[in-house]
Copies of this chain bind each other. A is one copy, B any other.
Amino acid sequence: MVEATGGGDTCCPGLLTAPLDEEQAVDLARVFKALGDPVRLRLLSMIASKAGGEVCVCDLTPAFDLSQPTISHHLKLLRQAGLIDCERRGTWVYYRLLPETTDRLAGLLTRPAGTPLPDRRVRAGAVS
């Protein structure tokens, strides 16, 4: 499940151009929350940067000082967020990136070309 709001799409408007309504915010927060952990970020980058597009769990687990159940738990969260998918092949399970989701995030964080850098006027009141 998770699958962006059935029909809400939220394709382009962008996080930075119009206020999010609460439903969109809840949905998006789930994905960002999945990225809000160092272990999951490293897992994602290991999966995404792998040449063949796939990584076996048995190659991921030994890269961390964590128990196997913990890694499995993090992979589950990344999968539930729609960031990765997995496929069992014989004894082994292979994970791969779902680029549509990272593409969507990148789009949401990219401001439309025209947006001017906010006048950057005084930096005076820098709160210590």
Query: Which residues of A are interface residues toward B (Cβ below 8 A)?
Result: 15-20, 22, 25-26, 28-29, 32-42, 44-46, 48-49, 53-54, 86-89, 96-97, 99, 102-103, 105-107, 109-111, 115, 117-119, 122, 124-125, 127
Contacts and interface: CB of A to CB of B under 8 A. Distances in A.
A72 to B, nearest CB: 13
A19 B42 contact: yes
Given A106-B106, A118-B96, A118-B99, A45 B26 contact: no
Contacts of A48: 15-17, 111
A42 B25 contact: yes
Contact of A49 (B16, B38, B42): B16
A124 to B, nearest CB: 8
Contacts of A39: 25
Contacts of A86: 127
Given A32-B41, A54-B118, 9 more contacts: A16-B97, A20-B42, A25-B41, A29-B35, A86-B127, A87-B122, A102-B111, A103-B110, A106-B109
